[in-house]
Amino acid sequence: MRDTNHEEKLNGGFTLLECLIALSLMTGLLLFLTPFIKQVNRLWEYQEDASYLEVQIGKRQLEHEIEALTLLEVKPAALVYKKVVDGKADERIVFDMYEDKLRKKPGFQPIIVGLKSVSFIEFDSLIEMTLVTLEGEEYVYFLKK
């Protein structure tokens, strides 16, 4: 004779006790991981805020830099100014993209970092500056000529 209870146990699936243990383990893991998931969300929000602040500070710095300069030319990816001292044009100042930075030349002074692209469009009394960050956020600003 065969033991039918033994065969039913092998083919019957999970017992109620096994299901409860698995459920309690998954609940414990979820409770354990929840603070880490929240921390990742906080870091992501902080990173977005930091990117926004970086762009805002860079925009303000660019506005401050161009206050004392005279506009020569607006190119799609660069602004060209001249610095006038005592009525004489001293040097050309160019703001353009280099790698992931909007920089000031001559020299290499980064104005805004973490950019994917920058574009400039000239209007009557304004310059539209469009910035796209590495995270894909797009910012549009207007600069005085």
- Residue 116 has a pLDDT of 93
This prediction has a pTM of: 0.64
Share the mean pLDDT of the chain: 86
Which one is predicted more confidently, 22 or 48? 22
pLDDT interval class at 145 (50, 70, 90): confident
Render pLDDT for 112-138 as a digit per residue (tens, 0 to 9): 998 999 999 999 889 999 999 988 889
Radius of gyration of the chain (CA): 30
Q: Are strands 138-144 and 126-133 parallel, antiparallel or unpaired?
A: antiparallel
Say how far apart CA 117 and CA 98 lie, in whole Å.
10
Strand 138-144 versus strand 115-122 pairing type? unpaired
pLDDT at position 96 is: 94
Residue 1 scores a pLDDT above 60:
no
Q: State residue 44 phi and psi, 5-degree precision.
A: -65, -45
In this predicted structure, what is the pLDDT of residue 51? Answer: 79
For residue 95, name the pLDDT band (cuts at 50, 70, 90): very high
Distance separating alpha carbons of residues 13 and 16, to the nearest angstrom: 10
d(CA 127, CA 144): 6
* 58-73 pLDDT tens trace: 999 999 989 988 899 9
Q: Can you tell me the distance from the alpha carbon of 88 to that of 111, in angstroms, rounded to the nearest whole number?
A: 26
Query: Are the CB atoms for 104 and 54 separated by under 8 Å?
Result: no
15: left (phi > 0), else alpha (psi -120 to 50), else beta?
beta
Residue 89 has pLDDT above 90, yes or no: no
Distance CA 53, CA 77 (A): 22
Residue 46 pLDDT exceeds 90: no
